[in-house]
Amino acid sequence: MVKRNILIAGGSGNLGSHLHHYLKDSFETISTYFKNQKYKNKKNYIKLNLNNKIKTIEIVKKNKINTIIHTSAITDVPYCEKNKNNCYEVNFEQTKSLVDICKKQKIKLIYLSTDAVYDNLRNKAPFKESNSLNHVNYYQFCKVKSEKYILENLKNYLIIRTNPFGLNNHKNSIYWLFDRINKRQNILGFYDIIYNPIFSGDLAKYILIFIKKNIRGKINVGTKNSANKYELAKIILKKFNIKKAVKRISITNFSLVKRKLDTRLDLNKLKKIINNKQLLTLNKTIKNFYEFEKKISKKN
């Protein structure tokens, strides 16, 4: 069996940090960081601008990397809409650079896409991996363009369409929830956005399985059941014993950026890969998130 040497691009992020934790005991794992200086002296972390192709190739060759997991992205949708050049550089150009490296070095790419790439005009949720793609905002445009570039240039790839949540300064829906709590702002719950998100730590465990089984192609990852963001906020606040009211509103009353309202994922392909007992409910993934944060708070 070929020894796995893995490079996690974006290893200081919400998902990347969980991946590093779970993969390091099974594989030779190196992770990149750029701005987050708390990773400066951490073992097997390297400071790297992912747009620097020459430096990235040096690291790949030196460490005999045969799998790159690309988790780095700007996920703040309104920011992407206002800062298109920066969004394009990070969310597409970095992907293009890594694809080119993988093609030249003949190594596997695992790419973290989003549940928001599916064409909601031609297809209805829950979306299957075979469904067509489209975009309604600039963040989605860069993700769809990245997927297309991967498909055109690589054979050895895995595209994961998902919606992970957690803290660690990664601007997902749960990060925003706790950010508003900390700032003593009103808690907003969007009743018209429905999805089946997953805790980043649980997603990292699934990715470990995908690597061990050498899964290729495209796969949806989420939880068995779904909720809208209003319901999700209430479940999380209850779990964390935070007594705050949630204001039920429409996303159209909060943001001018166009979004897809229903991004639920079909998980039949995932069911065939993992043990059915390992397929998580929304409550279970929230419980895992809560227990992780509780453990972290005790350490601090």
Q: In this predicted structure, what is the pLDDT of residue 40?
A: 83
Per the model's pLDDT, the better-predicted residue between 169 and 19 turns out to be 19
Q: In this predicted structure, what is the pLDDT of residue 250?
A: 95
Q: How many Å separate Cα 154 from the centre of its chain?
A: 21
Which stretch of DSSP H or E encloses residue 291?
A: helix 282-299
Structure tokens at 147: 């997927």
State the SS3 of 247-289. Answer: EEECHHHCCCCCCCCECCECCHHHHHHCCHHHCCCHHHHHHHH
Q: In this predicted structure, what is the pLDDT of residue 176?
A: 78
Question: Is it the case that residue 173 has pLDDT exceeding 80?
Answer: no
Q: In this predicted structure, what is the pLDDT of residue 202?
A: 97
pLDDT in tens, 45-56: 999 999 999 999
Domains located in the chain, CATH noted:
5-170+198-222+263-283 (3.40.50.720)
Question: Is it the case that residue 200 has pLDDT exceeding 60?
Answer: yes
Mean pLDDT of the chain: 93
Structure tokens at 137: 């905002």
Length of the chain in residues, anyone?
300
Q: Return the SS3 of 107.
A: coil
Q: Return the SS3 of 198.
A: strand
Q: In this predicted structure, what is the pLDDT of residue 98?
A: 98
**If you average pLDDT over residues 60-77, what whole number do you get?**
96
Q: Return the SS3 of 105.
A: helix
Model confidence band, residue 1 (pLDDT cutoffs 50, 70, 90)? low
Q: How far, in Å, CA of 151 to CA of 210, rounded?
A: 19
Q: In this predicted structure, what is the pLDDT of residue 38?
A: 83
pLDDT in tens, 112-148: 999 999 999 999 999 999 999 999 999 999 999 999 9
Model confidence band, residue 39 (pLDDT cutoffs 50, 70, 90)? confident
